Amino acid sequence: MRKYLIRRLLQIIPVIFIITFVVFVLVYMAGDPVALMLPEDASEADREALRAALGLNDPFIVQYFRFLLDLGQGNFGTSFRYNQDALPLVLERLPATFELAVASMVVAIMMSIPLGIYSARKRNSFVDLFITGGSVLGKAMPNFWLGIILILLFAVNIQFFPVSGRGSLLHLVLPAITLGTGVAAEMTRLIRSSMLEILGQDYMRTAKSKGVNNGRLIYKHAFRNSLIPVVTIMGLQVSQLVSGALITESVFAWPGLGQLLVQAVNGRDMAVVQASVFVIAILVIVINLLTDIVYRLLDPRINYS
């Protein structure tokens, strides 16, 4: 296990280099930032002077290495919009994003595990039909729509939850349900089908022939096996949530990474875009690594070497 971890951590290094390159190229191709930085009536000579001062006339490769050097010192440049360093700006949004991601996952897990298991056990019953139908609906509802409807119902008509923003636990409920519903829908279907497959396995019959009771049969013998394919998808979903739920954060004015990224792109605040994309990429790598570790802990058949 330790060897495996070290190897996986070493593998991250080249990936990070590739990410820095992609991030740099993205911004390099996005066009001339000078036009945005100077007032409209600035002369061509002024622009040229600023380009020279910022090193924008240097060859591509020189600019890239300068970028890497800055990066090594944690310097992504300065945000035009906030007039401060881009990286701390991004990092201070992380707690809000994590908070929402964790809350949504809790909602998703609490809904999908019991529903998925129940509908697998009662396959083809009316309840199963209801749950599978509901999960299609849950997956089909766009987040912006669900978010607005929830605001309308529970924050405007019944004024129980706040309309938007972050602060108390109450602020968290509606955005977490909005995000969690789609994830729950996907996971419910996955748990159901995975569970159905496991319930038909020979070892379930063996366990039953030993006199194992139903609860233990499901939650010990079947559940852990059925989680193996589910964990992979869960990892992907968490990556998505952590990368900033762009739409949901916008709808609820949730001050997370997604909101910052959308604003930065709109304002062509390239330093912030670079820093956000970089941080998100690192998070996704870390989550993938964690997923793989969980996967290996669940399934002893997977070799560490």
Partner 1 sequence: MVEKLLEVKNLYTHFFTEQGVIPSVNGVSFSVNKGEIVGIVGESGCGKSVTSLSILQLIDKPGKIVNGEVLFNGEDLIKLNEKQIKKIRGNRISMIFQEPLTSLNPVFTVGNQISEAIRIHQKVNKQQAKDKAIEMLRKVGIPNPEKQYYSFPHLLSGGMRQRVMIAMALSCNPELLIADEPTTALDVTIQAQILSLMKNLIEELQTSIIIITHDLGVVAEMVDRVVVMYGGEIVEQASVYDLFENPRHPYTQGLLKSTPKVHELEYELESIDGNVPSPDNMPTGCKFHPRCPFAMDKCKEEDPSLLSVGNDSAIKCWLYQDRKVVQV
| Among candidate residues 24, 172, 37, 26, the one with its CA nearest the CA of residue 99 | 172
How many chain residues interact with partner 1 (CB under 8 A)?
A: 20
Residue 195 or 279: the one with the smaller Cβ distance to partner 1 is 195
Q: Pick the piece of the chain touching partner 1 (CB under 8 A) from 83-91, 211-219, 252-260, 266-274.
A: 211-219
Nearer to partner 1, 189 or 221 (CB): 221
Least distance from C-beta 221 to partner 1, angstroms?
A: 6
Q: Does residue 211 belong to the site contacting partner 1 (CB under 8 A)?
A: yes
Asked if residue 2 binds partner 1 (CB under 8 A), the reply is no
Nearest approach in angstroms of CB 204 to partner 1 is 8
Does 208 participate in binding partner 1 (rule CB under 8 A)?
Answer: yes
User: Nearest approach, Cβ of 134 to partner 1 (angstroms)?
Assistant: 24
Stretch that binds partner 1, among 174-182, 212-220, 233-241, 247-255 (CB under 8 A): 212-220
- The nearest distance, CB 103 to partner 1, in angstroms, is 30
Using rule CB under 8 A, residue 210 touches partner 1:
yes
Q: Is there binding between residue 219 and partner 1 (CB under 8 A)?
A: no
Which one among 49, 50, 127, 207 touches partner 1, defined by CB under 8 A? 207
User: Does residue 11 belong to the site contacting partner 1 (CB under 8 A)?
Assistant: no
Q: List residues binding partner 1 (CB under 8 A).
A: 201-203, 205-214, 221, 224-225, 298-301
